[in-house]
Structure 1
Amino acid sequence: MAYEVEYVIDSIEMGIGANLQHLLWIYDLQERIRFIKHLAKNTGVLSVAQIRGHVRQASTPKTDKMVISLGDQEQEVIDRLTRGSSKRDVVSLVGMAGIGKTTLAKKLYNDPNIVYHFHCRAWCSVSQVYLKRDLLLNILRDIEGLTDEIHEMSEADLEQRLRQRLLKNKYLIVLDDVWDVEVWNVLERSLPDDGNGSRIMITSRLRKVALEAKPDSDPHSLRLLNRDESWKLLQMKIFHEEGCCPEELVDIGEQIAERCGGLPLAIVAVAGILEKTEKELEQWKLIAKELNSRVIGDAETRCKDILQLSYSHLPAHLKACFLYFGAFQGEKDVRFSKLIQLWIAEGFVQKKEPRSLEETAEEYLLDLIDRSLVIISKKRSKGGVKTCRIHDLLRDLCQSQSSEDKFLQLVTRYDEPYASLLDSDHWVDFDSYYPSNPVKYESHRLCICLKRKVFVDSRPSGPSTRSLIFSASSDTYPRRPYNLSFIPRHFKLVKVLDLECINIGHSFPAEMEFLVQLRYLAISGDVGSIPRSISNLWKLETLIVKGLSGMVLLPDSLWCMTRLRHIHVKKQAAFSMEDEMSGNSFQLENLVTFSSLSLSFGMDTEKILRKLPNLRSFSCIFLDARDSSQSCNQFPRLDFLPQLESLKIFYAGRTRKPGEFILPLNLKKLTLSSFGLPWDHISSIGRLPNLQVLKLVSEAFDGESWDMREDEFPELRFLQLDSLNLVQWNASCDHLPKLAQLVLRNCKRLQEVPYDFADIPTLELIQVQRCGKSLEESVRSIDEATECIQVLISRSYS
């Protein structure tokens, strides 16, 4: 680990990274060194491979490791998945909320034996509110990946596509958190039965759902943890890999664990409290006393009381952030980037110099994760949080506490003003019904989850509402455009307006310019241009435009909106030719993220980018110069963007061979697509001193042979090669000394992964999807050579 120690010291001296990160690095190194000393003292001399394996286990993030092994339950479910009838079968996990259904399902889903047994797998979170189209897309995302073509397909075409991809393949589909057997009924015809042992695994709180999905078989009912398992889980969550609890805390700790009633979620919640308190006897006695005064009744009641206790122990600045999860009724996973942008717009995040607002917000989220109130559902390739979620019981707590504190109001189709209709003897068609008068709300924050048509036809208003977040429940025509011109008139004081999941049509609402308090605006539709009057929204910090097709033209008045921090356009965004040459002297100095801007080769590109001096994350699409007189082969210099850490570049023009890339030295993540460059151009990328993540996609480089060179990619931790025509990869372990993850997709001509990669000390994972047999065999030989590298191979379709 000498190179890691050296890296930390150099980072501190050069000012790379934050002080907190330095402390975490140093702490991690100390823990691993202490662990190796412990192994050497207690087990004698170890081989290099053994040390690597033990150290890797010791340094695995606690969010991935803290799972109690329930061997009896696990083996029974594995047998049901891998043995028995060759016909397609349904395996169900049932149990009360918080008992660990999803945790067990995920553990089995990622078990190497399960991964190898099935040709392809997909995980689909369902919940109470779902759209059939979204379920099909979620499954297809794991089976083959999503493209623009798939996104544009009708529901019927998606069904056919999924069926075709699954035919003649032994597959495993997990449907997590199913509340209604109708989910199984609507998906069943897309899941073929080829008599090859395919399986569908369902998790549900409701036993009747499992019995309706497969009437002739008993579902697997999860049991509560026993006393020893409860205490073991509590220790693991508090002390991680440090080992045992201090002797003086054992008795009181066992009492606390027992009071949790064997429910894993309750134990994890209590651990989150104990971990943030002093590990002293008196402190633990106070927690035990609070538990004794609160916890009564059955296991689920106990769990709810314990979760309430966890909330009451939160510091004031985290309570609002936690309660905000109650706003995401229709979403299981919440995008980290969206969440912190909303927190900032709401004013929950206080700036702490020299940290940015985004860095402080991330610190808040990590604190909630450490307290076991928020779960990381997906990680970014460089290790950060991509999406997160909370347990359903915690969401219930958020909503009940929000109602009690008047923090936010959640409106569903079962709420007022429709409750009286639902209680009546007359059937109501919510697709055609709407009240004769607009529905008026008084709440400060309003979160509406309704069918799109019901929402629009009810024409709600909120004279004092400051935040309006809309999420759609099931709809027959989700892409139909709706007239939302009433929103600016009915919500005049709103500062957060999230209409991301409803199509506003082709025109940006002209009345939107009067919402001068707006800080966060998210819209969706076939919007071709943003009007110049948007500059009236002078407080706007986040602008999200989910364009459904084509280009979105941005006005030159955007340069006057100096508070902007984030601009996201789903398809493409561009400034008109006149705007680019307007000579506007304004700079967007606060803008830290911008996607997806369409640019062309030429001098105008550099002029635009120099107006964005503090960009940290940038996604762009490069086209050939629109004016042939400006045509050049030189890729624009980007070294004048010293803060830039993440860069995605897609090329959509004619084949060209641009000159050498001149990129910022601080760049940590780079994605290149469709350039068709010769492999010798990669050296300018390899020399970047801080690059940690590299994704080469869709013939980013063209050529059959990649000869890696010495002294390149010194910090690379994640490498993805996707849809390249590469045949021969000439490299050794010395070329990628810090590589942790290697992902290979659709590289059907690549013959092998260099066998020497087995000796990369940091390598943890090699993932192969839809590649050739020769490559798969070379990866298996690496797997056999070491116990320290996890290998996941999704076998090619038949």
Structure 2
Amino acid sequence: MAEIAVEFILEKIASFLQNEIASFLQNEIQILQGVPEELEYIRDDLQRMKASLRAADLVEDSDHQLKEWVRQVRDIAYDIEDVIDGFNFHHADQHGHRIHGFLYHFCCFVKNLEGYHQTADKLRKIRSRIRNVSAWQLNNAINLSTTDQGSSSMTTSDALILDSADLVGIDESKELLVRWLVERNPGRKVLSVVGMGGLGKTTLVKQVYDDERVKKHFDVHVWIALSHPFKMEDFLRNIVQQLFSAIRKPVPEGIDDMNSDWLKVVIKPFLRQWRYLIVLDNVWHINQWHAVNHAFAKNDSNRVMITTRNTDVAIASCLESDDMVFNIEPLSSDYSWDLFCRRSFRGNTCPPYLVEVSRRILEKCEGLPLAIVAISGLLSTKTGTPAEWETIYRSLGAIIKDNDKLMNLTEVLSLSFKYLPYHLKSCFLYLSIFPDNYLIERMRLIRLWIAEGFVEVKEGKTQEEVAEDYLNELLSRSLVQVFGRTSDGRVKTCRIHDLLREIIISKSRDQNFAAIAKDKNGAWPDKVRRLSLHNSLQNVQHNRNVSHLRSFFMFEVEDPLLSAPLHSLYPDGFRLLKVLDLRAARLQTFPGEIINLFLLRYLSLRETKVNSIPSSIGKLQNLQTLDLKHTNVTELPVEILKLQQLRHLLVYRYEFKYYSRFHSKYGFKALAGIGALQSLQKLCFIEADHRNASILEEVGKLTQLRRLGIMNLRKEDGMALCSSIQKLTNLQALSVVSSVKDEVIDLHHLASPPQLLERLYLTGRLEQLPDWIPRLQSLVIVYLKWSRLEDDPLLSLQHLSNLVHLELLQVSIGDTLSFKAGGFQKLKVLGIDKFDELRCIEMEEGAMPVIEKLSILRCKSLETVPFGIEHLTTLKVLEFFDMPEELIKTLSPNAKGGDYRKVARIPEVYYTYCRDGEWEVYSLESSGKRVLSVETVESHLESIVKK
């Protein structure tokens, strides 16, 4: 995997030659020899190695000699990065001072010239090392660009298919797929079975393929396990051989010399004669499917089955209406326990003294059948003492790497990573820094990837959009799992499978990519580049050389920290640091040593007690993300305006006291001249300054903004704000909060709203609904709070064609809300809160045809469920919060003339009361109500306030 480091450094060299060196030469002196020339030589040498490195990725683990060569190349790439970043640090240090005068400038010139020559000398030595590595490669006959990689080709063989004795929980899925195959629908149909490695896709499909009903239905059965790397001619020859073998006829002469076009000519006429079933096992890429698709004749009742880890492949292969994508799911907890006990105890039950540790080991498997079989098979060979099993649980990561009995599991889980392009490998390895079962926020990950330099620049896209594509590809390849989504379908949080995480931690350590400090005895590389500290400062290894460190993270560290945490851990400093994430650390003040981290791109002090930022932050000229969310910071120094690379500025907090309060969110005082931050994409939340109206005009200069949050707005600010918003053509999310509940938000001057606007949050009084809102068809989420409109807003909002989430809090003062037939065609989530005069909600048949969740809160005059709620056939969740008891009584199955029958078919119906500072949550069931849980007001309604 040295290709990751080499490709990364090649891009860095290109950027350095184009930008930093050019700038240095222009500002200091024209030097015709030295750093640029050496870097160009190095770049050319590394380019020549790339093909060999790419091939080495496939066989490196099985060849110790090759592994050493790869390690040397990787170390060289890392050392080049150190030299470049060291030069940048030195240059930034000299220019970061504010002293002026001839003597100072002369001293800086001398120091820069000296640093320039030192850099050139270091690069010459590195180039000499590259020549030695290249010579070693030649002398040892390692020419991987032309090496026969047959030994590295991977196919899904019977060895990877679970034994029939290990099959649990597949009967229902098998029956579904068998029925689908033998149904006599006309034309060729495609069935794709998709899921991460180890879920049993091949096992399930093999059971279906071997079923007697399937064998009788089709004349020809062919099973093709795709190899990697994929060779089209070999694949098609394999199909030809199997087809003719199936009908016991000799293979046509000359197929060994045919190209892919001629082989397709042989296949297609053959298939037109027969009713066939073809299984393509282990399809990795869309182009593999496209390459063979047209070779398969589309006769009546023919079927193609595909197994793949890639969701994009599954979708691309199933384009016809009757095609089917089948997502295979992990085993349930009951099935997992059954399989685990069957294998671990040879069919016997688990001894009571091993139940607790067995459950924890099983949790690591997360329902992955292959993992359960492999690990339980290993456990079955042990003596079965609690201490021995506890040791296995604690050291499972090392066991997966080194134990021969788990080699098959490791290989299967590693395959998806093995064939990733290099830029996705970096992004995926990066997930190793997060702790077990950690929910990774999408935007946090995207900002970190960008700060690390993993995300390429593409014309027409922001780096954030490119990084989003990277994440989506990892998701589609079943390497990352979606944990939570926003109401409009965007990924909110994600995670990785526990065992896959153990594997990439091992790879990350082997490749010197990152060190994970979660215990005192963890192994660290000699040159730590990324350090992730978990649980306690006691896990830090002191007296280590951290001069190469690029990223430092702290997760769930509750130890008290000094005001200078970096200096207290490593007094020598972190001069090359680019990422510093101290989220939730026990900090009271801004750590002063951060100011000297001139190369820093990402700084997070989120959820700390920091309350002020020093003016010296203006020295951090490379800072891209400043995350001060949920800190006590309310003002920023004017020097923040010097940070021209700043893309994301997050300075706000939620202060929850009671959820009916108008003020629950706090931002920071806006800075005059904030329009200077031309790179900003997210600005949340600035408080409008009533003494300086020009601030709102400054916002209009931030043309790269994707998300904007403004608070403390007055009616007279409306025209200036609208004028600025019209200029923000890239804006996707807008949040506006008035100064007080009764203050009017005047947005009627917005004649040309941003056409990309998808999310709109307005908190404050509206004299009338702005006429541009119903015209903005890109809107997917709308929150209106404390609007107190005289007219029903639903008439204006109902035809928003892409609206999926609507929240209304005290939006109108009328007594009726009417949802008309044909309105809100895509709405899935609806909240109705604190309509004090509301007595009736009407829902006509045909309104909200795809609604899934309806919440009604604090409508004290509403005494019946919405009329026509029985028409909402897609409704899954119905919630009532703090509603009149008269309404709740109508939900009882025994209430005369009640509404029980109207809501009985809804899967989840809840109603909640606040009693003595706690919420009592009840569930409506056929047997009546029962208490589900008791939660404090703060925890239960926090999400409502954050909207």
Structure-2 change in CA distance of 1:411 and 1:62 (3 Å): farther
The percentage of aligned residue pairs carrying the same residue is 22
Q: Does 1:323 pair with 2:429?
A: yes
Partners of 1:409 and 1:447 within 8 A in 2: no
Report the alpha carbon displacement of residue 729 of structure 1 after superposing the two structures with TM. 0.8
In 2: Cα distance, 1:377 partner to 1:794 partner = 26
Partners of 2:553 and 2:582 within 8 A in 1: yes
Report the alpha carbon displacement of residue 553 of structure 1 after superposing the two structures with TM. 1.0
Which residue does 1:128 correspond to in 2?
A: none
Partners of 1:410 and 1:446 within 8 A in 2: no
Report the alpha carbon displacement of residue 583 of structure 1 after superposing the two structures with TM. 5.7
In 2: Cα distance, 1:648 partner to 1:470 partner = 30
From 893, 900, 908, the equivalent of 1:791 is 908
Which residue does 1:650 correspond to in 2?
A: 763
Structure-2 change in CA distance of 1:541 and 1:584 (3 Å): closer
Q: Does 1:559 pair with 2:675?
A: yes
In 2: Cα distance, 1:587 partner to 1:400 partner = 47
In structure 2, the gaps of 5 or more residues are 1-175, 187-212, 214-321, 343-351, 378-399, 526-534, 656-665, 893-897, 914-919, 921-930, 932-947
In structure 1, the gaps of 5 or more residues are 1-30, 43-57, 77-92, 97-205, 212-217, 234-256, 265-292, 420-428
**Structure 1 residues 405-424: Cα deviation after superposition (integer angstroms, max 9, x where no partner):** 233344557479999xxxxx
**Structure 1 residues 516-552: Cα deviation after superposition (integer angstroms, max 9, x where no partner):** 1112222353222222221211111112224477541
SS of the counterpart of 1:446? strand
From 744, 758, 781, the equivalent of 2:901 is 781
Which residue does 1:588 correspond to in 2?
A: 702
Which residue does 2:831 correspond to in 1?
A: 720
**Structure 1 residues 735-761: Cα deviation after superposition (integer angstroms, max 9, x where no partner):** 223334334445565444446444446
Partners of 1:724 and 1:747 within 8 A in 2: yes
Q: How does 1:585-734 map to 2 (within 5 A)?
A: 587-595=701-709, 597-602=711-716, 603-623=719-739, 637=750, 639-651=752-764, 657-658=767-768, 660-663=770-773, 664-678=776-790, 680-697=792-809, 699-725=810-836, 726-734=838-846
Which residue does 1:497 correspond to in 2?
A: 603
Partners of 1:634 and 1:658 within 8 A in 2: no
SS of the counterpart of 1:736? coil
Partners of 1:679 and 1:706 within 8 A in 2: no
**Structure 1 residues 453-502: Cα deviation after superposition (integer angstroms, max 9, x where no partner):** 153661642112222222446xxxx4x6224111112x221112222233
Report the alpha carbon displacement of residue 342 of structure 1 after superposing the two structures with TM. 2.5
Taking structure 1 as the reference length, what is the TM-score of the superposition?
0.57
Q: Does 1:367 pair with 2:482?
A: no
Structure-2 change in CA distance of 1:331 and 1:561 (3 Å): farther
Which residue does 1:68 correspond to in 2?
A: 331
In 2: Cα distance, 1:61 partner to 1:207 partner = 43
Partners of 2:713 and 2:745 within 8 A in 1: no
**Structure 1 residues 668-691: Cα deviation after superposition (integer angstroms, max 9, x where no partner):** 111122223345133222233332
SS of the counterpart of 1:324? helix
Letter in 2 for 1:773: I
**Structure 1 residues 672-711: Cα deviation after superposition (integer angstroms, max 9, x where no partner):** 22223345133222233332221223x2334432123355
In 1: Cα distance, 2:591 partner to 2:456 partner = 33
Taking structure 2 as the reference length, what is the TM-score of the superposition?
0.48
Q: Does 1:383 pair with 2:451?
A: no
Structure-2 change in CA distance of 1:650 and 1:330 (3 Å): farther
In 2: Cα distance, 1:781 partner to 1:794 partner = 16
Q: How does 1:266-665 map to 2 (within 5 A)?
A: 297-298=404-405, 303-329=409-435, 332-352=438-458, 354-411=460-517, 414=520, 440-449=546-555, 450=557, 451=559, 453=561, 455=565, 458=568, 460=570, 461-472=573-584, 478=586, 481-489=588-596, 491-505=597-611, 507-524=612-629, 525-547=631-653, 550-569=666-685, 573-575=687-689, 577-578=691-692, 580=694, 584=698, 587-595=701-709, 597-602=711-716, 603-623=719-739, 637=750, 639-651=752-764, 657-658=767-768, 660-663=770-773, 664-665=776-777
Report the alpha carbon displacement of residue 667 of structure 1 after superposing the two structures with TM. 1.4
Partners of 1:411 and 1:446 within 8 A in 2: no
Structure-2 change in CA distance of 1:563 and 1:638 (3 Å): same
Structure-2 change in CA distance of 1:741 and 1:640 (3 Å): same
In 2: Cα distance, 1:684 partner to 1:465 partner = 52
In 1: Cα distance, 2:794 partner to 2:904 partner = 31
Structure-2 change in CA distance of 1:516 and 1:332 (3 Å): same
Structure-2 change in CA distance of 1:66 and 1:436 (3 Å): closer
In 2: Cα distance, 1:315 partner to 1:642 partner = 35
Report the alpha carbon displacement of residue 377 of structure 1 after superposing the two structures with TM. 1.4
Larger Cα-atom Rg: 2
Report the alpha carbon displacement of residue 730 of structure 1 after superposing the two structures with TM. 1.0
Report the alpha carbon displacement of residue 712 of structure 1 after superposing the two structures with TM. 3.3
Partners of 1:523 and 1:544 within 8 A in 2: yes
In 1: Cα distance, 2:474 partner to 2:376 partner = 20
Partners of 1:779 and 1:791 within 8 A in 2: no
SS of the counterpart of 2:493? strand
In 1: Cα distance, 2:820 partner to 2:712 partner = 33
Partners of 2:726 and 2:750 within 8 A in 1: no
Partners of 1:599 and 1:620 within 8 A in 2: yes
SS of the counterpart of 1:309? helix
In 2: Cα distance, 1:345 partner to 1:634 partner = 36
In 1: Cα distance, 2:891 partner to 2:459 partner = 50
In 2: Cα distance, 1:781 partner to 1:397 partner = 52
SS of the counterpart of 1:501? coil
Partners of 2:823 and 2:846 within 8 A in 1: no
Partners of 1:94 and 1:221 within 8 A in 2: no
Report the alpha carbon displacement of residue 362 of structure 1 after superposing the two structures with TM. 2.7
**Structure 1 residues 595-615: Cα deviation after superposition (integer angstroms, max 9, x where no partner):** 354422232322342343321
In 2: Cα distance, 1:521 partner to 1:330 partner = 26
SS of the counterpart of 1:400? helix
SS of the counterpart of 1:543? strand
Q: Relative contact order: is structure 1 or structure 2 higher (C-alpha 8 Å, sep ≥ 6)?
A: 1
SS of the counterpart of 2:755? coil
Structure-2 change in CA distance of 1:308 and 1:37 (3 Å): closer
Report the alpha carbon displacement of residue 398 of structure 1 after superposing the two structures with TM. 3.6
**Structure 1 residues 248-290: Cα deviation after superposition (integer angstroms, max 9, x where no partner):** xxxxxxxxx69963789xxxxxxxxxxxxxxxxxxxxxxxxxx
Partners of 2:725 and 2:750 within 8 A in 1: no
Letter in 2 for 1:781: R
Partners of 2:481 and 2:494 within 8 A in 1: yes
Partners of 1:716 and 1:736 within 8 A in 2: yes
Which residue does 1:115 correspond to in 2?
A: none
Partners of 1:406 and 1:443 within 8 A in 2: no
Report the alpha carbon displacement of residue 590 of structure 1 after superposing the two structures with TM. 1.2
SS of the counterpart of 2:635? coil
In 1: Cα distance, 2:183 partner to 2:756 partner = 42
- Output the aligned Cα RMSD: 5.0
